[in-house]
Amino acid sequence: MDATQPDPLDVPGLLDFYRRYGFVVLRGLLPAATVDQIEAECTRAQRAVLEGTVPQRYGSTQYLDARFADAAATVPAAEVEPAGSEPYVNYVEHVEELSPAVRTVASHPLLVTALRRLLGGEIWTLGDAGSGVIYQDARPGRESGYTRIGWHSDWQAMPSLDVWPGAAFTIHVDETSPANGFLRVVPGSHRWATPPPYRNINNAPVPVDARPAGGHTDTPPPFPMPLGFEKVPGEIALYADRGDVLLHDAYLWHAAARATDDTTLRRHVRAGYYAGDRASYREQFVKNAAR
């Protein structure tokens, strides 16, 4: 969807497209200079996390490859690559606090207005109770702790809470392709009542009080969601250009394909907005912090 008009909500069919397929791409919303600024500021933040010149709050080891976990224990959130190559960080959390450009775009009036329309009410972010806005460097290569991710829907990360409906936004720093990796989505899957996985692919426990299913209807999926990277009937490759802003529903099935060229980069900025019960998340956050 081309968002070069003053108000992207005036683009014919934007809301209908999103509600039918579970995603929409806003193209032309961000000036090239803004994307350049996001890239420069996020790169500096990434280096600061690696060098330990910012608090560990900004670095995450959650998705590190086990081969690099020992190195990450001494270098905050760092990915230590093989001899002769340069270490780097896959994730910078709360990057909006380190990048004024990210902070501005994450609260862009047109973006927020679009998400309010899509989610049907007032919206909010996790803020300090979560990871904030995340800068993600998903470059490929055996040195990377994040090269692809299996099938999932975002609601499965918090299946016990009443924070839904929700939607994620992703600002693409790099265009995507088979060479550097891309998003796989199943259009319309946000309308299925998808159960939480019978087990989590990361071996994290599925909460015993998880909702039985999440989706915009009571219609069950026509087939089970794979835990890995299998081909799913109806899936499409969703390619993005530099500066594109992707909005996708929290119930949408999606996965990230691995790049075919290990010399490429695939960087983006992402976060979520929610329209459900904010208090339920705050209560869960306080409980977890007290443990």
Give this prediction's pTM.
0.85
CATH class of this structure's domain 8-290: mainly beta
User: Which residue did the predictor score with more confidence, 126 or 185?
Assistant: 185
Q: Of 56-70, 92-106, 218-232, 262-276, which range is least confident?
A: 56-70
**What would the DSSP string read from start to end of 109-167?**
HHHHHHHHHHHTS--B--GGGTT-SEEEE---STT-S-S-EEEE-GGGGSTTS---SEE
Q: Give CA–CA dist 126/124, Å, rounded.
A: 7
User: Which residue did the predictor score with more confidence, 187 or 229?
Assistant: 187
272 confidence band (pLDDT: 50, 70, 90): very high
Mean per-residue pLDDT, 143-160 = 80
Q: Give CA–CA dist 80/85, Å, rounded.
A: 9
Where do we find the tokens 């990360």?
157
Question: Residue 216 carries which DSSP code?
Answer: S
In the chain, where the domains are located: 8-290
Which is it for strands 236-238 and 182-185: parallel, antiparallel or unpaired? antiparallel
Helix (H, G, I), strand (E, B) or coil at 168: strand
Cα Rg for the chain, rounded, in angstroms? 18
Is residue 248 within 8 Å of 167, Cβ to Cβ?
yes
**What would the DSSP string read from start to end of 45-65?**
HHHHHHHT-S-GGGB--TT--
73: pLDDT strictly greater than 50: no
Residue 217 class from Cβ within 10 Å (0-12 exposed, 13-18 middle, 19+ buried)? exposed
Q: Which residues, including other chains, have CB under 8 Å from residue 129's CB and lie 6 or more apart?
A: 281, 282, 285
* Among candidate residues 287, 265, 272, the one with its CA nearest the CA of residue 173: 265
Which backbone phi and psi does 250 adopt, to 5 degrees? -70, -20
Structure tokens at 90: 């896959």
| Tens digit of each residue's pLDDT (9 = 90 or more) over 211-241 | 999 999 999 999 999 988 899 999 999 999 9
Sheet order of strands, 91-92 included: 23-26, 245-249, 166-172, 267-274, 134-137, 91-92
Mean per-residue pLDDT, 235-264 = 94
Structure tokens at 176: 């995507």
CB neighbours of residue 195 within 10 Å? 19
User: Percentage of the chain with pLDDT > 90?
Assistant: 53
pLDDT of residue 141: 66
